[in-house]
Chain A
């Protein structure tokens, strides 16, 4: 099976869907002639031409809204935000128009649009460029929120997102674009709302999504090696819909639950998971759910400060040990 980078997997997903459906187009800043700020759309302009791979001006509200309008008449726009930090300039289009047109039209209109781009703490970019928007968009009925952790998942989930009849927020991570993984040549789609057990284990359930799956995996391997603790890592893949059944199944097996996110703790995705786990699996829990999240501060520039704010492997290991009452 070919081993490719995450950015190539995303590129393949878009290209295959554009070959399949003439209504799919990609629009965003620097996606065409520049080949993409992070080279995700490399070669696509040459392959599909300027009507289908479209450079937009720096005008997020404008081109996000353009996408929603085009989707209302059956087109399938892929709108790339250079980063989701910039989606906040278009917040009204993303949270008010895209997910509410179906509702306010009494179901007369679909809005099959994908908003994609990077989310998460930047590489020392300061507070405004470092938004982890998971919780912001997961909060909104009418949106779907997808966040892959591997090249395989990225391709299958993005293809499914493009074919979906609802607006999809597709969150990528700058530091993961170069990550490699096996991606089959044959076509496949990954269904939304199905979590994936990335590492089976019996001692503690760790729930992650996107980049934190990698952090959780590293913590799990280290704990296995050093203390023989056998962690189960569950990758949510999609935050809305969220596969609560798989979380509960795992927690009922292990008796413990830790959530790991790069967003903020207050009203975060981990808070939502903790509330539901404690509501539906209280009798199976041997401790309260432990949340690991970014510290509750704007993202700092300085490297050691940034590393202190964003949850790393050590913080996840500490949380797991704390959760399972591990002494040592």
Chain B
């Protein structure tokens, strides 16, 4: 079996890229904090899974791939959507069930999509989108394109049959897929130790499916970038798929309605000491790209941007009842219409 090279990407990110990622991470966090507020104000319905604490994963990994590459994720999708460059106004609008939402108010928090940005959702049945990622990889290989499919899911997904069927197919057909498990230790309230017979997730795919596994610190943006750059190269060279176990942590509950009885405040506080935004700030300070004044100016600017997008979405019109009949078929038909 082919072995994966250690991350050996010489191309360090540019100063401009580092600053862009920093801004994206601050944006994701502030977006999520505004979501939490809007949820409490009952502007957001349904389930709402926040990405606070995991920002380095989406930003570092999406920063390492190209615009033409395919991205697909699970229901904790706000961070990936923003990292993929989606404007936050249609995201807020989607959360508020507005017609101006990215999915016309049909999808909600768990179903953000942007076809133009090659962002294929936002999927809420745990593990069900992993076979779709294999289909994206299949299309790339079939069409002989220089692309990869990057698929995110949580540690809760990897005991689903769909995960195993998908990885077997990807390994069998040698498809250019990066399977990235965001191991935040908990599938809802169940620790990975209580869910997985083998808890070292990176070991689970090499022998089983011929897909090598690596692990990486998901609280470190640069490490994420380098690992995914190297993984993408591996895929682009026709080696097949790769599996990345990303060690990360969510600061908030599984969803907004989670009392978090399964973990201690101390545990959360310990992880917050390694906050991904704080860590990137430190790097930027060292490189003299950021100082305290600039940090606070960026925070203020993004705060204003988030508030403006929220307010605009809040004022947008709700869909008309007739809108339920659209977006179901290419050409709508009866008899119940």
Which residues of A pack against B, CB within 8 Å?
A: 25, 51, 56-57, 59, 61-75, 77, 92-93, 96-97, 101-110, 141-142, 144, 164-166, 193, 241-242, 244, 276
Assess whether B138 is interfacial by the CB under 8 Å rule.
yes
CB-CB under 8 A from B16, the residues of chain A are none
Q: Are A59 and B113 in contact (CB under 8 A)?
A: no
Q: List 23 A-B contacts (CB under 8 A).
A: A25-B142, A62-B162, A64-B131, A66-B132, A66-B135, A66-B138, A69-B134, A69-B136, A70-B142, A73-B70, A74-B139, A93-B128, A93-B131, A101-B121, A102-B327, A102-B328, A102-B329, A103-B107, A104-B107, A105-B103, A106-B113, A109-B115, A244-B334
Q: How many A-B residue pairs have CB under 8 A?
A: 147
Q: How far is the CB of A278 from chain B (nearest CB, A)?
A: 14
Q: Return A92 CB to nearest CB of chain B, in Å.
A: 5
B131:A69 contact, CB within 8 angstroms: yes
Within the complex, which residue of B102, B115, B132, B161 is in contact with A69, where a contact is CB–CB below 8 Å?
B132
**Contact status A110-B330, CB under 8 Å:** yes
Q: How far is the CA of A101 from the CA of B330 in the complex (A)?
A: 12
Given contacts A61-B161, A105-B103, A166-B329, contact A68 B135 (CB under 8 A): yes
**Contact A105 B121, CB 8 Å, known A25-B142, A66-B135:** yes
Contact A107 B70 (CB under 8 A): no
Bound: A258/B133 CA distance, A: 46
Q: With A108-B115, A241-B334 given, is the CB distance from A97 to B327 under 8 Å? A: no
B262 at the interface (CB under 8 A from A): no
How close is A44's CB to chain B, nearest CB, in angstroms? 16
| Interface flag for B269 (CB, 8 Å) | no
Contact of A65 with B131 in the complex, beta carbons under 8 Å: yes
Chain B residues with CB below 8 A from A69, complex form = 72, 120, 131-139
B152 to chain A, nearest CB (A): 14
CA–CA, A241 and B125, complex, Å: 27
Q: A66-B135, A70-B136, A97-B132 are in contact. Are A165 and B335 (CB under 8 A)?
A: no
Given A66-B131, A109-B120, the answer on whether A166 and B168 have CB atoms closer than 8 Å is: no
- Check A92–B128 contact: CB distance below 8 A: yes
Pair B106/A104 contact, Cβ less than 8 Å: yes
Say whether, besides A69-B139, A73-B136, A244-B335, A106 and B131 are in contact (CB < 8 Å).
Answer: no
Closest to B147 in A: A73
Asked whether, in the complex, the Cβ of B169 is within 8 Å of the Cβ of A57, the reply is yes
Q: From the candidates A63, A92, A105, name the one contacting B125 in the complex (CB within 8 A).
A: A92
CB-CB < 8 A to B327: which residues of A?
Answer: 102-103, 105-107
CB of B300 within 8 Å of the partner chain: no
A75 near B142 with CB under 8 A, answer yes
Contacts of B334 in A (CB 8 A): 241, 244
